[in-house]
Amino acid sequence: MPFAHQLADHGDRVALVTPDGHVSYGELAQRVAVTAERLGTVRRLVLLAGANSTDALVTYLAALSAGHPVLLVPGDSEHTIRSLTQAYAPDVVARPDADGRWTLDERDPRSAHTLHPDLALLLSTSGSTGSPKLVRLSHENLQANAESIATYLGIDDTDRAATTLPMHYCYGLSVIHSHLLRGAGLILTERSVSDAAFWAEFHAARGTSLAGVPYTFDLLDRIGFERMDLPHLRRVTQAGGRLAPERVARYAELGRRSGWQLFVMYGQTEATARMAYLPPHLAAERPEAVGVPIPGGSFRLQPVDGHGPGAGELVYAGPNVMLGYAESPADLALGRTVRELRTGDLARRASDGLYEIVGRRSRFVKILGLRIDPQRIETLLEEQGVNAYCAGDGEALAVAALSRAGDEGRIRRLIARKCGLPPRVVRVRAVAELPRLASGKPDYEAVRRLTHPAPEATPQPAGDLVRLYAEILDRADVTEDSSFVSLGGDSLCYVEMSLRLEETLGRLPTDWHTRTIRELHTMAAPAPGRLDGLEGQGGPEPPRARPATGIRRALRAWTNPRSWRTRRTLETSIALRALGIVLIVGSHVQVFDVKGFAHILIGIAGYNFARFQLTDAELRERVRNLWRSIARIAVPSMVWITGAVILTDFYDPANALLLNSLLDQGNDRFDWAYWFVEALVYFLVVLAALMAVPLLARLERRYVFGVPLALVTVGLVGRYDLLDLASARPQLSPTVVFWLFALGWAAARANTVRQRALLTAVLLFTLPGLFQDQSVRTAIVIAGVGLLIWVPTLPSLGPLSALAGVLASSSLYIYLTHYQVYPYLQEDFPLTALFASLVVGVGYAAVVTRVARTVRWL
């Protein structure tokens, strides 16, 4: 494989830009050579768990350069890895181990298979991930397609492309091949383009190329891509499905104004990656066309019954056409069985020589004797302003439409009228997100499931997780394409959600809250009986209020010997919340004297605000979720404190209204008992109002690290009370501690060592003096916030994680209630006072949860 063999020819040029630094072509070639030597000279079948990481790429290139055929599979899908390992019995399995270290599991020193000398790569066909049917690609296929793509895109050694698509997906892999061929750089990332950190990496690496499927462009629209300043961007490429012509034209015009080119491309896995492209200068005027064949390729139109002479099935020929399919290990010995590729797409050639796709031959369905083209239905709905996926479902048409609930009837009638079908055979389901495969392509099987659920005795894929999300978030609209943040999840339910998921799925990725249920499900299929009796039911059921679940889980974990041998990880923010609330209450009880954790929790509040509230949702939904979170904090707090005002003499009405910090009622200890809750509510109210301003919301999405850093600077004005706004207790004043909240927000957005080091420096220089001469308290806050900045997770054990989960998720309510518990027990029974305070707080959390789920207003 020439481009894999010739890496060293590019010398010291940057090959990879990773979160850990740059890797030159010389260094990459050396690492590839070492791994190739490890794989040996005897050809073996290598199953590779694909990932946009240095280890995965090195292993892939090493196998290619040494002549070992690679079976490339999704690295985040345990089910696929298991099924293809069982089906093809690979000689070597390359993947991370349980601790994340890259391993080569050499199962056979030679090979259990007869491998054809031309065989280089095995990929799943589009939509068949995990199926034993694979596409067989040769060394010539890969090299020829890489050269063709690099030629028409004009890639050179000054380019840097981000890996916005999965490595195991042929489109994503072609980005890697074509750039390595030219000595260009790859920005290795697994982040979504909706993630602010992605753009920080892209800016820092001076990215020039961005690749996307239609769903990628949906995300770009949401985050305001057209307003981004990307001075080094040269080209945006699109493939993986049809992008609406008006959007092609719009992005082409955007590129013209911004100085980059849009390449719309057409391809299939069976053609290695690409078969056609639309020259950028034609994108605005001919956005409906797929363009011309790539260099070295050609098209012809095969007549199809029922269509006029101008249209036919598109048939492609070129050096990138696959060797053929493999459906069993015996097929790995086959040579070429395919000379040209029948695409299954219906096309025509326009008078200007450009090809246009007009339908999909294999997607035609017969319903009540009528021949229906689902793609035509999708286009029809698109013209009416409705994005939808359509699929044949036996004797009915299944439609998933991106629309509001209640619109199904209108959409059903529109389709029936246009197609001549009775409405009863058109099944429509309104969804918040259209179902997509991991590659971003439409998931038509999910469309059929959505509109025609399986019988109750047959569980749907990821059904247990859907029910778990519905239960904890109290939502009835959960689907497999929902994520924690898209459902409005916040820090109050994040803890229980993460621990329940970890118990079910094992190790969780740090960005699990932004991933869809479908993506989480592919990592590890839920084991039977792991979800507290939720297993074995056919579809989502009405959420049930089960506020004591976390307590029961904690008790089970502590009494189960096996759980003490189960290693887990615990998010640092959760560990700090759990430890912090125990130390805060214990210090008030005077069991011990460890102060400072309330200020650490202010930083954690900012950290969680950035993670759960500043999502990529549309502005109205984001603001609505913000006010909902404010209500979930303020209302239970005001209810409890009002009771304390009525039943005791320690508090003023200003406390019940959360106004003590503003009115400065006095300097008594109990006057300031709830300063933390007041500060948090003030911060969130002001920020919710600011984020409701479209201009400010756009600025935050564009400058994801810069905005909180600027707010840290503004907060320092209050930290040093330069405007004389601090109260009688300055270290408890909202104006003084806001800078810590902003620092936590910035910590959640920091993605480079330089950014984290900057925040650490700010912390070290600005915190001293806040607590006057309390050096231990200062050191504790620095250590806690420093952990938040630098260490995302900590090692743990099952029982400790379960206990931490209960305490962390109840921390706000423990803080609220403990002032009314410990004074009555403190003098004679201090340990009992501490324990009782924690128990009452956990109980109040359970009551609030039950009430909220019953009345559905929080």
Cβ-Cβ contacts under 8 Å for 373 (sequence gap 6 or more): 359, 360, 363, 364
Q: Are residues 85 and 127 in the same domain?
A: yes
User: Using an 8 Å Cβ cutoff, are 311 and 347 in contact?
Assistant: yes
Q: What is the CATH number of the domain that holds 374?
A: 3.30.300.30
pLDDT in tens, 210-222: 999 888 898 898 8
DSSP bridge pairs for 119 = 138
Q: How far apart are CA 504 and CA 501, in angstroms?
A: 5
**pTM exceeding 0.75:** no
Contact 587, 595 (CB under 8 A): yes
Alpha-carbon distance of 187 to 18, in angstroms, equals 6
Last residue of a domain, one of 326, 356, 386: 356
Evaluate whether residue 438 is within a structural domain: yes
- In terms of domains, do 388 and 285 share one? no
Surface-to-core class of residue 329, CB atoms within 10 Å of its CB (0-12 exposed, 13-18 middle, 19+ buried):
middle
Contact by Cβ (8 Å): 73, 168: yes
CA 805 – CA 815 distance, rounded (Å): 16
State whether residue 71 is helix, strand or coil.
strand
Sheet holding 276-278: strands in order across?
21-24, 14-18, 185-187, 160-162, 209-212, 235-238, 261-266, 276-278, 292-293
Q: In this structure, are residues 586 and 603 in contact, taking their beta carbons and an 8 Å threshold?
A: no
DSSP assignment letter at 611: I
pLDDT at residue 418 in the model:
75
- Identify whether 394 is part of a domain: yes
284, 179, 163, 134 alpha-carbon torsion, rounded to 10°:
100
> What DSSP string runs through 186-236?
EE-----TTSHHHHHHHHHTT--EEEE-HHHHHHHHHTTGGG---TT--EE
pLDDT at 457: 35
Residue 438's nearest CA partner among 365, 377, 521, 499 is 521
Please give the full DSSP string across 550-610, using - where no structure is assigned: HHHHHHHHHH-GGGGG-EEEEEHHHHHHHHHHHHHHHHHHTS-----HHHHHHHHHHHHII
Residues 442 and 311 in one domain: no
Please report the pLDDT score of residue 664 as a whole number.
60
The encoded tokens of residue 110 equal: 């030679």
* CB-based contact 512:498 (threshold 8 Å): yes
pLDDT tens per residue, range 817-848: 999 999 889 888 999 999 999 999 999 988 88
β-sheet bridge partners, residue 365: 372
Same domain flag for 253 and 335:
yes
Residue 179 CA, distance from chain mean position: 25
- State how far the Cα of 322 lies from the Cα of 308, in Å rounded to an integer: 30
CA distance 754 to 761: 10
Instruction: Kindly state whether residues 388 and 340 are assigned to the same domain.
Output: no
Q: For residue 130, is it left (φ>0), alpha (ψ between -120 and 50) or beta?
A: left
Shared domain for 322 and 248, answered yes or no, is: yes
Let me know: does 296 contact 148? Beta carbons within 8 Å. yes
Does residue 231 fall inside a structural domain? yes
Q: Are residues 385 and 320 in the same domain?
A: no
pLDDT at 455: 42
Q: Are residues 284 and 334 in the same domain?
A: yes
- Of 426, 451, 476, the one marking the end of a domain is 451
Phi, psi of 624 (to 5 degrees): -60, -45
- Residue with the two structure tokens 């849009």: 262
577 in any annotated domain: no
Beta-bridge mates of residue 355: 291, 349
CA distance 239 to 291: 12
CATH number of the domain that residue 199 is part of: 3.40.50.12780
Query: Would you say 377 and 396 are in contact if contact means Cβ atoms under 8 Å apart?
Result: no
**Residues with Cβ within 8 Å of residue 827, at least 6 apart in sequence:** none
Separation between Cα atoms, residue 391 and residue 398, nearest integer Å: 5
Written as six digits, the tokens of 594 are: 């460890």
CB 263, CB 280: distance < 8 Å: yes
Q: Say how far apart CA 618 and CA 694 lie, in whole Å.
A: 10
Integer Cα distance of 7 and 5 in angstroms: 6
DSSP H or E run through 322: none
665 occurs within a structural domain: no
Tokens of 686: 């002001």
What sign does the CA torsion over 785, 791, 796, 801 have? positive
Establish if 557 belongs to a structural domain: no
- Phi and psi angles of residue 244, each rounded to the nearest 5 degrees, phi first: -50, 135
Closest CA to 568 of 507, 626, 514, 627: 507
Is the C-alpha dihedral spanning 72, 75, 78, 79 positive or negative? negative
Per-residue model confidence (pLDDT) at position 773: 80
Q: What angle do CA 713, 718, 721 make, to 5 degrees?
A: 130
Residue 621 has which token pair? Answer: 């939904």
127: in domain: yes
User: How many Cβ atoms are within 10 Å of 692's Cβ, its own excluded?
Assistant: 16
Identify the sign of the CA torsion 32, 33, 38, 42. Answer: positive
Determine the pLDDT at residue 531. Answer: 29
Distances (CA, A) of 682 to 626, 658, 659, 734: 13, 9, 10, 8
Q: Which residues pair with 93 in a beta bridge?
A: 47, 105
Do residues 40 and 183 touch, judged by C-beta distance below 8 A? no
Residues 256 and 293 in one domain: yes
- DSSP annotation of 155: -
Could you say which of 327, 356, 385 is where a domain stops? 356
Length in residues, the chain: 858
Q: Could you tell me what percentage of the chain is helix, strand and coil, using 3-state DSSP and rounding each to the nearest 5?
A: 50, 15, 35
Counted domains in the chain: 2
Sheet containing strand 396-402, edge to edge, reads 388-393, 396-402, 426-431
Angle at 33 between CA 30 and CA 38, to 5 degrees: 130
| Domain identity same for 301 and 179 | yes
The low-confidence residues of the chain, meaning pLDDT below 70, are 126-131, 305-309, 360-371, 393-395, 405, 420, 438-439, 452-463, 474-476, 490-492, 503, 506-507, 510-511, 522-568, 616-618, 664-671, 798, 853-858
Longest dimension (CA), the chain: 96
What the block records as the tokens of 128 is 């068949």
Structural domain span for residue 377: 364-451
Residue 342 within a domain: yes
Answer yes or no: do 306 and 432 share one domain.
no
Please check whether residues 34 and 100 belong to one and the same domain: yes
Residue type, 210: L
∠ CA 697-701-706 to the nearest 5 degrees? Answer: 105
Q: Which of 216, 191, 224 is nearest to 205 (CA)?
A: 191
